[in-house]
Structure 1
Amino acid sequence: MSNERLVGDPEVPAVSFEQVSKHYGPVQAVRELSLQLPQGRAIAFLGPNGAGKSTSMEILLGLKHASSGRVEVFGKPPRQAMTAGHVGAMLQSGGLPADVTVRELLTLMTKLHPKPLRVDEVLLRANIADLADRRAGKLSGGQTQRVRFAIAIAGDSDLIVLDEPTTGMDVENRHIFWNSMKDEAERGKTVLFATHYLEEADQIADQVVVINKGRLLANGSVSDIKAMAGFQRIAFRLPGVTREQLLNLPHVVSLDVLHDHVQIQTSDSDKTFYALLDQGLRPMEIEISALGLEQAFVAITERDNGDAVETTETEDAR
């Protein structure tokens, strides 16, 4: 089967891991990971720090060899797919040469790519046309990240791999970046990205993969991942309430009280809320909803770690 038939064939996954493990001496970074990622989707690759995300991405890019197992990218070994120009990547590390302009840098990158795009098109796709004549050494941190994204899409690659691409960006630059990334996904590219900004992954991802301790923990749509957590969120305002008044409510998984604002994570929102009323408490501005992706991610990974979720202030997944 020719290479061209593999790309665009819905029967062929963009990325396939089969029982992949990676050891660093006694440390096992990836543990028998089996996973297939379809073509043409925006896929969030999530996991706590040290979960094996970056190692897995480096293996699929051919930058590291698996200790065991098999990896294919569009049906081929990773390095062969990279050489053919099917993959563009933006990793966490890597700087830019300070004394060249953005246009000069992208011109070089397009000349090196097997399937180059026009430089002006890359500037527009990455939304950095205003930076074209600026020297890389004069860019802010967020602008540098956007230029690194432009390098990742400098060719007509079929898979774009992004490892924590918005680290160091302010809110405005993150918004600009995610719009550029969504445009790539809408062009039919497969976009695989790791991020700690889970509220943005919630809005953008077609599919979510969660790994923990190097193992596959969850794989599905955003709604699938939220459903796996099995919890709901109750939020309300209640002047004068204390933590002690709420600690004994049934089915509470976590409890956060800040002044008169309360957030409760519960495994049974009906029973928790009725018990609240039975205590004679009358909350205001009540909201009962499913967990967001960030809260679901925390709940799933904590459950996998075997940690008892205490009734303390909710921690931020970042």
Structure 2
Amino acid sequence: MIEAQLGRCVAAWCPGATGVTGAAKLSGGASQETWTFDIVHPDGPIGAILRRAPPGYGASPGRAAGLDAEATLMQLAHDAGLPSPRVLHVLTPEDDLGTGFIMQRVEGETIARKILRDEQFAKARPMLARQVGGIAAGIHGLDVTKLPKLRQMTSTKEIADLDREYRSFGWPRPVFELALRWLRDHDPGPSAEVTLVHGDFRHGNLIIGPDGVRAVLDWELAHLGDPMEDLGWVCVNSWRFGEIDKPVGGFGTREELFAGYEAAGRRADPERVKFWEVMGTLRWGVMCCGMMQRFRQGPDHSMERAMIGRRSSEAEIDLLRLLAPREK
């Protein structure tokens, strides 16, 4: 069914295309679908990815930028020379495929445990932290006048939003209370510079090959705000996958991250990064609690939600380590 729909769609905008083959749904994404397929073309197959909200799906969640904005941001990043897939087509109502877009398929790995352990990535790992820093600098340097309409966030608003969401569960957690108090006490206030923030810059949203980072994916949480937020988020312990002594994704140090960021012409603020790392750790813990609530209350009683929900205790341990006086 979807191959026929995709075939009709690509024939309308890809000269010479005669159909598609190998359409397969990829795992991941609670509300949006991702499909991989090949466009049949006289010059050879064209690898492509469909990212969409299925027909009939409602509006995007409040924090989401929206798929049209995602497509615009990815193309702006691609055009600026950043590792981002090229957007081939933004879906129209005539395509009958829902809301979304089709992009170039980039080959590589997104599974963190493979990236951190498999031999084929051994040469890439030592340079990833600097690479990630340079890519973050490129994202933060994109011209804000060319961006689609995005929500704007500040540290103060983020604290208030997290506090409200946490309390809505009716599930008191003393470590979360401690973290909220610490965040209020250390709120750095509005950033001197407001930039594009990717919003989910971490393992799982980076396609990595033996040569390093090949693409940044999933811009759905992009917004305007403090650029240090992205640097703090990529350092959250949950994205280290057991390599806790390497704060940046389990593959590098904060110093390497900052060096890559500054080599690309931007300045890192370690104190603000620390604040956003604490914020990110708490945010992940609250997200885990939300998963557990949905598992308990339904209608989705999937084991995946329960497994993620139980990780809120890991976030508590991470917060205690971050807030201990010996931590710098």
TM-score under structure 1 length normalisation: 0.25
Q: Which has the higher helix share?
A: 2
TM-score under structure 2 length normalisation: 0.24
Query: Which structure is higher in RCO with an 8 Å CA cutoff and minimum separation 6?
Result: 1
Q: Which has the higher strand share?
A: 1
Larger Rg: 1
